[in-house]
Structure 1
Amino acid sequence: MKRNSIFLTILAAMSSTLSYSQTGNVGINTTTPGSTLTVNGSFAATYRAVTASGNVAPTDYYLAYSSNTNGTLTLPAAITGSGNFAGRTYHFKNTGTAVLSIAANGAELIDNQTGAGVGTVNVPAGYYAFFISKGTTTGTTWELILLSSSDSLPAATTSYPFSTVSTTSRQDLTASTGPYIRREINYPQGTVINTGNVLNINNGRFTAPSNGYYMFYGSTQFDNGNIPGTPSFDWVVLYLMKNYAVSTDNILVQSFQPAPGTLTGRNVSCITYLNKDETVSMAAAAGVTGSPIYQVVVSSFYGYKIAN
């Protein structure tokens, strides 16, 4: 009898102190909840440290990815009818040094305000991402609420893919006879910054890792000083080329100079929209008196994604 009395006393205390219902509202540590759920005190949810790729569990809330190897965490699959978890939120922090990818399940997509949605969202090292379930079962089933850096100012090189290269190596190129012969400039040696490995220094091509707007700048020096006889240029052209491997006529911008002598410098720049896997490279063409070849030297090429 005494045991039952103690149990009833505990139930009464919980009902009056911890939880109180008023017009559908529930309060914890308050008798006047103003919202559907009001917590007058601290709140705690699951914290899970992750070191490898895997699935996000229904019981997860905050996940910290601490690996130094790129990995993927896959969000739960959408549920139809009973059990649909519309409004569920997940928080991710990349505390490692590699790239963390958050992926939707199967054919589902993440709405990141770019149109049809994306299959994955990359969270660079030091960044935080916040997702919410839309409750839909096809198309964009998740929404990216926030992707931000934990630093006060995000580093430019982790915001978007970036590359720059400069070389003092000489490159032999075929001189034009009749139609222009355009050849890509490559960078066999020199200073390279290549975030995301977007630049192939062997063929000089910057490959877009995702759809978006990109800025490019290139420069070189046309220099026949080391060619026997020091032949003069009839003309020179420097180009930025789009998808050179597909067609050598895909010119984005060009800089032309007639009769420059044996030495001249040219530069080109542009902003262009690229689809994923499209390329931009710098190329040259020149007419030369008395030589089948010409040379370029002191070449620089810069590429940077500026917007989606």
Structure 2
Amino acid sequence: MDMKKCKTITEDVILAYLAQKSETVKSSTLWSMYSMLKSTILVKKNVNIATFPKVIAFLKRKNVGYKAKKSEVFSSEQINKFIREADNETYLMLKVATIIGLAGACRREELTKMSIDLINDKEDMLLVKIPDSKTHIERNFVVIGQENLLLYRQYLSLRPSHTPHNRLFVNYKKGKCSIQPVGIHSFGNLGLRIAEFLNLPNPKNYTGHSMRRTSATIFADNGGNITNLKRHGGWKSTNVAEGYIDNSLTNKIKIAKTIQKLSDENNQYETETLPSCSDYKRHLNIPSISNKLNPFNISNCSNFTINLNINKN
């Protein structure tokens, strides 16, 4: 506005600004910039740019054909292989982070801030609480499995007694823990470290968000509905949760089976082809029909009547 000497925030001003930025940034970034502008301008200038229809239309048009780049997802088999085969002396902390991150669909910042005070260790489970998340929704989840619990307790037993903070994850190296907490960038490389151990192609495509996407995908693949999925991941947006349901392999197989079942039911009716009308009188009487009406074809006929006697019992 200073450069163009504009004094009033109008729809054309916002549209011109976003149009200029669209030449150098992606569609997803444009939406982020619009969101920040909307909040800031509403607070500072008391102008609600959400009421500008041309701006919304412009953003939607720019979003056409754009495909967001997402983190790769691990399979259940790959996660189990890492937990069972990776060396504890090197990967114990990563194993525990994987177990908790997968059970609670945790973001990297949630793993970073996770406190031992919010983990209740029962004999047969861990009750974990995330008091505040990105969407400000409190979440609770459970970690089960004897092997998972043993790994967690082993890692916790190595925690130095003089650790001055309550953060769960502290640096781990060569079988020993230090008092230094694990930073958010280390959890950002969690997926990369697992992918490298498993020798997966393109390991850099596995990021800190892979664990959250993996958790949601496995949940959806095993029949989780959208309501429970939103609770599991703490999503407010139904569209985000629906994406996991829509992309679920199990859901696609279920749809395919439903279609195939209908196709099979249609194919079970055998088609009978009756002789041409020249072999019958003008009035064609079919004496009886079984409980299941079998379709039949009549060809080369005109001006004739078919009488059907159907026993409704």
TM-score category of the 2 structures, normalised to the smaller one: under 0.3
Give me the TM-score of the superposition, normalised by structure 2: 0.25
Compute the TM-score of the two structures, normalised by the length of structure 1: 0.26
Name the structure with the higher helix share. Answer: 2
